């Protein structure tokens, strides 16, 4: 078992390292673009931009029909069973379904934009951005499905090349052109659409040359695989849609109950808090196909061990980001968006707590997908989304953006707990090993200690972060090593991290071996 677990974890770690680096690059480029937009537009225009992007994202989610996860899982599962014909059928069906659905939803989005803008959000200026964004829907959906197909073959390079690098770079270049030529706010919207369309065109060429197998001979299996693929993916469509609701309900309801200004301020905190999902998203990208193959081979013991170790690393990787956002919200917001957005500090702390809670319970969602529990995930997220809406209705009017943050953080925590309970009941799996419980206690005590120290300081600046973050990492890392809060598989993961990042971790590996 140990060899299989090590191979699986090392493959996940290698993919995680590549995806994480790509994600950081993409997020950095995205934040640069966002800062340009914030500083180039008014708060009202930024609020309209954020609102339009959320609405179009919902249409994209529906158009994708759950294929972003469903295609990956089915391709990996049938690869594990050595059924190549079904793999071809899944790929062919995914592309056809995505194309038809995305064009249909793009048309609906375009022609309903006036109604959405005026009748629902009472903001006529929202209509034109919605119509322009609608053009990007088919291109966005195809990019998502292309990535899912490569992901099913344990390939992470396609996502990094196109989603993390090419599209953000193009968007940034187009935004710079908008600023240099002094174009209006609508130019920002066109820049977004052009970056998506150009990325999709280049991706099509890459797909034709680099796809691991030809799908031309897969037509005979397309019809039966379409039914099987949709049977698994449609519940995931509901899950993805509900995740969007869970993530964006606060933005939409702030737009309804408050003003575009409130939406703009809140959307300075929201993307920062979402940084806390970067690690788990990076782990989950290759985790699903790897674990799906283990499930296809009925290697449940190896699957459970891989789940526990992956969850621990998700939390360890997320904790430093949480440290900065939770303890230094004012400094971070002021640095990135200016003093106008410091009002989102408390909301950022609340959202950060919700996201770190989700990271603590780790890859439960991804594991449920791998073992075929898509319908339960759908029901679970439905309950969480309803709770989120109800909480927003009661909390936004009196508390504004802080109420929206409380609603989202509570919903995140609720859905995570439900998924963890279900996974344990159905498969006997949970991440709470003795090692993980020790890490939990150390994390709480260390964060509390630094929180108390910071409360005693009279002045906190950028320099404070530069001093305290390395200090936190040194103290926390030392506590983990000296209390032996690690597992034997961690050495293999460190080796893969070392290979991927080219960072010399020899000292850490020696320390771990010494205290094992």
For 256-279, how does the pLDDT look when each residue is reduced to its tens digit (9 = 90+)? 787 777 888 888 888 888 888 888
Q: Is residue 460 part of a domain?
A: no
pLDDT attached to residue 217: 46
DSSP letter for 159, please.
I
pLDDT attached to residue 336: 80
Share of the chain above pLDDT 70, in %: 85
Return the number of other C-beta atoms located less than 10 Å from residue 65's C-beta: 27
Q: Is residue 402 part of a domain?
A: yes
Angle, CA 18 vertex, CA 13 and CA 23 arms, to 5°: 115
Separation in Å, CA 32 to CA 69, 183, 322, 332: 29, 18, 21, 14
> In which region does residue 338 sit, left (phi positive, over 0), alpha (psi from -120 to 50) or beta (all else)?
left
Cβ atoms 514, 30 nearer than 8 A: no
pLDDT attached to residue 7: 66
Mean pLDDT of the chain: 81
Q: Is residue 426 part of a domain?
A: yes
- Give the mean pLDDT of 399-410: 89
pLDDT attached to residue 174: 93
pLDDT tens for each residue of 312-370? 888 888 898 898 899 888 888 888 887 888 888 999 999 998 889 888 887 888 888 87
d(CA 263, CA 275): 19
- The better pLDDT of the pair 10, 215 is held by 10
pLDDT attached to residue 218: 44
- The better pLDDT of the pair 77, 245 is held by 77
d(CA 106, CA 71): 22
Angle, CA 83 vertex, CA 81 and CA 84 arms, to 5°: 135
pLDDT attached to residue 13: 67
Q: Is the pLDDT of residue 95 over 50?
A: yes
> The whole model's pTM is what?
0.68
Q: Is residue 264 part of a domain?
A: yes
Cβ atoms 404, 350 nearer than 8 A: no
* Backbone phi and psi for residue 91, each to the nearest 5 degrees, phi listed first: -60, -50
Instruction: Tell me how far apart the terminal alpha carbons of the chain are, to the nearest angstrom.
Output: 20
What is the token pair recorded at 13? 């770690």
Cα 81 → chain centroid: 29
Share of the chain above pLDDT 90, in %: 13
Q: Is residue 443 part of a domain?
A: no
Q: Is residue 456 part of a domain?
A: no
Cβ atoms 189, 52 nearer than 8 A: yes
What is the token pair recorded at 158? 């396609």
Which residue range(s) make up the domain with 393? 2-432
Q: How many domains are contained in the chain? A: 1
* Long-range contacts, stretch 424-430, CB < 8 angstroms, 24+ apart: 426/371, 426/373, 426/376, 427/300, 427/304, 427/367, 427/371, 428/304, 429/303, 429/304, 429/307, 429/308, 429/367, 430/308
Q: Is the pLDDT of residue 293 over 70?
A: yes
* Backbone phi and psi for residue 503, each to the nearest 5 degrees, phi listed first: -95, 130
What is the token pair recorded at 1? 């078992």
DSSP letter for 213, please.
S
Q: Is residue 479 part of a domain?
A: no
d(CA 134, CA 432): 44
* 202-206, 227-231, 305-309, 442-446: segment of lowest average pLDDT: 227-231
Q: Which residues contact 507 (CB under 8 A, 6 or more apart)?
A: none
- The better pLDDT of the pair 409, 236 is held by 409
Beta strands in 324-480 (DSSP E): none
* Backbone phi and psi for residue 21, each to the nearest 5 degrees, phi listed first: -60, -45
d(CA 318, CA 152): 25
Q: Is residue 102 part of a domain?
A: yes
pLDDT attached to residue 330: 87
């Amino acid at each position: 078992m140990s060899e299989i677990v090590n191979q699986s974890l090392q493959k996940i770690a290698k993919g995680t390292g590549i995806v994480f680096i790509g994600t950081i690059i993409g997020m950095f480029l995205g934040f640069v673009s966002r800062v340009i937009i914030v500083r180039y537009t008014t708060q009202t225009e930024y609020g309209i931009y954020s609102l339009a992007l959320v609405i179009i994202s919902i249409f994209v989610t529906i158009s994708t029909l759950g294929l972003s996860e469903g295609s990956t899982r089915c391709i990996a599962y049938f690869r594990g069973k050595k059924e190549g014909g079904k793999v071809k059928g899944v790929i062919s069906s995914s592309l056809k379904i995505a194309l038809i659905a995305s064009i249909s939803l793009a048309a609906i989005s375009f022609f309903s934009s006036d109604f959405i803008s005026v009748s629902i959000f009472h903001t006529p200026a929202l209509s034109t951005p919605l119509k322009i964004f609608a053009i990007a829907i088919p291109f966005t959906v195809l990019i998502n499905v292309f990535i899912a197909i490569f992901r099913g073959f344990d390939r992470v390079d396609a996502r990094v090349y196109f989603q993390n690098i090419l599209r953000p770079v193009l968007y940034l270049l187009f935004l710079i052109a908008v600023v240099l030529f002094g174009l209006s706010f609508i130019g920002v919207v066109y820049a977004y659409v052009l970056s998506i369309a150009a990325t999709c065109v280049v991706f099509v060429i890459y797909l034709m040359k680099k796809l691991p197998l030809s799908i031309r001979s897969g037509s005979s299996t397309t019809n039966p695989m379409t039914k099987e693929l949709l049977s698994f993916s449609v519940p995931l469509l509901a899950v993805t849609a509900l995740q969007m609701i869970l993530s964006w309900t606060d933005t939409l309801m702030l737009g309804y109950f408050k003003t575009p200004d409130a939406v703009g301020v809140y959307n300075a905190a929201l993307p920062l808090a979402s940084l806390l999902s970067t690690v788990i998203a990076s782990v989950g990208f290759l985790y699903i196909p790897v674990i799906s193959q283990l499930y296809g081979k009925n290697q449940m013991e190896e699957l459970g061990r891989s789940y526990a170790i992956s969850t621990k690393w998700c939390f360890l990787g997320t904790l430093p980001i949480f440290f900065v956002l939770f303890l230094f919200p004012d400094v971070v917001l002021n640095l990135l968006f200016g003093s106008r957005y410091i009002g989102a500090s408390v909301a950022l702390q609340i959202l950060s707590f919700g996201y770190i809670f989700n990271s603590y319970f780790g890859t439960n969602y991804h594991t449920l997908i791998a073992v075929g529990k898509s319908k339960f995930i759908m029901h679970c997220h439905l309950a969480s989304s309803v709770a989120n809406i109800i909480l927003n209705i009661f909390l936004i009017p009196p508390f504004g953006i802080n109420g929206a943050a409380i609603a989202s953080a509570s919903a995140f925590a609720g859905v995570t707990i439900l998924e963890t309970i279900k996974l344990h009941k159905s498969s006997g799996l949970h991440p709470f090993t003795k090692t993980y419980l020790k890490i939990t206690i150390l994390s709480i005590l260390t964060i509390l200690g630094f929180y108390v120290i910071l409360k005693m300081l009279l002045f906190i600046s950028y320099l404070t972060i530069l001093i305290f973050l390395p200090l936190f990492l040194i103290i926390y890392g030392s506590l983990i090593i000296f209390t032996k809060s690690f597992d034997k598989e961690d050495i293999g993961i460190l080796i893969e991290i070392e290979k991927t990042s080219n960072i010399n971790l020899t000292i850490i590996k020696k320390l771990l071996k010494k205290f094992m």
